[in-house]
Structure 1
Amino acid sequence: MMMISNSTKLVCLKGAALQQPNRSMATLKQIQMRLKSVTNIQKITQSMKMVSAAKYARAERELRQARPYGDGVKAFFEKSGAAEAPADNNNGKVIVAITSDRGLCGAVHTNVSKAIRNELSTELPDTVQTQVFCVGDKSRALLQRLYSKNIAVVANEVGRKPPTFLDASKVANELVQLNFGSGKIVYNKFKSVVSYKTEEVPLLSAKTMLAAPKLQSYDSIDEGVIESYQEFTIASLIYYAMKQSACSEQSSRMTAMDNASKNAGEMISKLTLTFNRTRQAVITRELIEIISGAAALE
């Protein structure tokens, strides 16, 4: 026995046929709305590709001017023996993650965060925790869930404008205040328009640089000069890494937006074909109904 509550109202209309919803018209409207949405997305991705192409051309041009900063410091570390000097592990270790605040550029920021995450996962609980200096909000967002205690400093507003040596100097000033014993910079090195590689460059403390075996052959250098030169080398390396990362980011974003535009174009073609077939089916069915009704009246 079927029970009906008192609040339920039943309305019966004699001679009224039950109207079935026109599913074809609803489908056509849904396809048309989705087609319009994908078309708008394609326009946005094409515009972002053009903007990224212009920014990439500028970033690559500025990268040529910034390469001597990093290459010179690396050559000095190798020839002076500072890279082979024993690290000062008493003051802990620091890792600088070079990313930006902006996304939609593939796995550029993810690769940097993954490399740092893999290294932090191998640390023993009894040892001094490695400090992470996040340049850009993307690295902070990717690391804070598991390693929020390791994040010491976060530099925001990175990536909106091309990085300058002044920006690198500000980061270097905050980095020197951490008083680290050893460290490194993790960044994406630009190789070509469609290729980049996540690399590391060491950061040396003043004590480590002073212990370099061949450093005294250049000149009689005291601790004050070493501290000043340490600040300059850190700023130069950070500037070099930021330029490399910015160029890799723009090239990756340009490639990602190009792929997104192509995928949107394929979706537009498929949706247009589906829309035309559905509309033709609706027209054919309506013609059949009209002809069948006319034939019934004869």
Structure 2
Amino acid sequence: MRLKSIKNIEKITNTMKIVASTRLNKAQRAMAASRVFNKSDAEFYANAEPEKAESEKTLLVVVSSDKGLCGSIHSQVSKSARRRIDELNGAVDIVTVGDKVKQQLLRTHGDKVKLAFNGIGKEAPNFYEVSLITDEINKLGKYENTEVLYNKFVSSVSFEPSKFSLVDAAAIEKAPGLSKYELENEETSETVAEFSLANSLLTAMAEGYASEVSARRNAMDNASKNAGDMINSYSILYNRTRQAVITNELVDIITGASSLD
């Protein structure tokens, strides 16, 4: 029964590995597209050179997803968020994107979590989904400093927690390098700040999705290999036990036949 159960588990993990492998190419394409937008965003900040203000409270947006079975990817970004909260002496408001990171942060910093989103990570993120999340975040009020914490895709076997640092519209408006750009109206800085947050969220979610799919593929591959090793071990044990039973029965038969002679 145990051998049969392990074989069923191996079939499930092997199927999940194949599904994750299929999704990884799509996830990497979405990630590459989001990096193009984020690169433009980074160039704007490099040219405008806005100054990061000393604020009483920072908005920390932690990006993860709702799904598990992908190794330590959720716990790593949660640990990084806790370290960042300690560095800011707890002067933060937290927004969680994904149920996994929400559950972990609620256990330690439940009073800091102001907003949470779920239904994340089923598919590669798109700008429409991200813009809806951004609109809800903006309803929390104005924050001079905003940080987006996420898992950055490094390679198919590794990822690392990273963050984007953003500033508000007032800091953009006062930026010394803003004169390099031709602005049509006074509301441009507000629009740029909102678009920058949406851009960063899109990149963070795309990077996190690619990291998660890759981590799930590796986790299911390891699980399939471990199940295969257990199947071999239990098959040998089952065959030895079965052979021992057969041998004992033959001995009993031979012994009984000999006693009749």
Q: What TM bracket, shorter-length normalisation?
A: over 0.9
Aligned to 1:267: 230
Aligned to 2:83: 118
Find out whether 1:63 has 2:31 as its counterpart: yes
Q: CA RMSD in A?
A: 1.6
Aligned to 2:247: 284
Letter in 2 for 1:139: V
Between the aligned partners of 1:220 and 1:272, the Cα distance in structure 2 is 73
Aligned to 2:105: 143
SS in 2 for 1:138: helix
SS in 2 for 1:247: helix
Within the candidate set 43, 47, 60, 2:11 is matched to: 43
The 5 A counterparts of 1:93-242 are: 93-124=58-89, 129-178=91-140, 179-219=142-182, 223-242=186-205
Deviations 1:115-161 (A, max 9, x none): 0012223454xx7x311110110110111111111111111100112
How far 1:194 sits from its partner (Å)? Answer: 1.1
Letter in 2 for 1:295: S
Letter in 1 for 2:156: V
* Structure whose alpha-carbon radius of gyration is higher: 1
How far 1:211 sits from its partner (Å)? Answer: 2.5
SS in 1 for 2:121: coil
SS in 1 for 2:176: coil
Instruction: Give aligned-pair identity as a percent.
Output: 37
Letter in 2 for 1:43: K
SS in 1 for 2:70: coil
Range 130-139 or range 214-223, more displaced: 214-223
Between the aligned partners of 2:219 and 2:22, the Cα distance in structure 1 is 15
- Number of aligned positions between the proteins: 260
Deviations 1:12-64 (A, max 9, x none): xxxxxxxxxxxxxxxxxxxxx11111100110011101111111111112222
Change (3 A) 1:210 1:88: farther
TM-score for both structures, normalised by structure 2: 0.94
Are the equivalent residues in 2 in contact too, given 1:88–1:208 (CA < 8 A)?
Answer: no
Find out whether 1:80 has 2:48 as its counterpart: yes
Are the equivalent residues in 1 in contact too, given 2:63–2:205 (CA < 8 A)?
Answer: yes
Are the equivalent residues in 2 in contact too, given 1:168–1:238 (CA < 8 A)?
Answer: yes
Are the equivalent residues in 2 in contact too, given 1:88–1:205 (CA < 8 A)?
Answer: no
Letter in 1 for 2:190: E
Deviations 1:173-222 (A, max 9, x none): 12222222212111111122112221111121112222322113323576
Between the aligned partners of 2:108 and 2:32, the Cα distance in structure 1 is 37
TM-score for both structures, normalised by structure 1: 0.83
Range 99-108 or range 192-201, more displaced: 192-201
Q: Can you give the 5+ residue segments of structure 2 that lack an aligned partner in the other structure?
A: none
